[in-house]
Amino acid sequence: MPSLDFLHISLADQCLYGFAQGQLRVRLPVSTAIKGAGEVNGSGCTPRGLHQVRAKIGAGLPQGAVLRGRRWTGEIWAPALHAQFPERDWILTRILWLSGCEPGYNRMGPVDTFRRYIYLHGTPDCEPMGVPLSHGCVRLRNADLLDLFDQVPLHCPVRIEQAACPEWARAPLN
């Protein structure tokens, strides 16, 4: 499968759309911020606008690897671990760390996506997709993230928008 050259995340659809050479190749359910859209540091919101994948973290780790501070803790997520630490915001499997591309909107100062540690990351399979529940990041199923991680190059553009994706992007994939 060719590398994806653009990602589009629709907050309205709670869906990630991946494109290669102008063709829709990937459509995945996601979970964005429970507090909605917003760019300000500390808001707990998902930032909008044009971003890029600034760092890819976790290559080679097992599915369900628990990441804290962008480092593997040595733990693998399991229901018993979840019960032991119910307050954790689980960041699992891989991280695609986003950096804003629009100065004053999602880059630099109090709106800097990179400094807010906004990621695309895995989450426990017991967490629902398609509904906003995160603390600002974009959550994906671990298996979906594993596939996506290998298809997304560094600096891949990522647009996050409030609006629903156009109807053609919801058509069956080839």
3-class secondary structure, 36: coil
To the query of whether residue 137 is one of the catalytic residues in this protein, the response is yes
Provide long-range contacts, Cβ within 8 A and 24+ apart, for 79-88: 79/126, 82/124, 82/126
3-class secondary structure, 109: helix
Phi, psi angles (nearest 5°) of residue 166: -60, 155
To the query of whether residue 121 is one of the catalytic residues in this protein, the response is yes
Phi, psi angles (nearest 5°) of residue 128: -70, 150
What's the token pair of residue 22? 């102008």
Query: Nearest CA to 120 among 37, 57, 39?
Result: 57
Catalytic residue among 15, 45, 121, 156: 121
Catalytic residue among 15, 45, 137, 165: 137
Catalytically active residues, by annotation: 121, 137
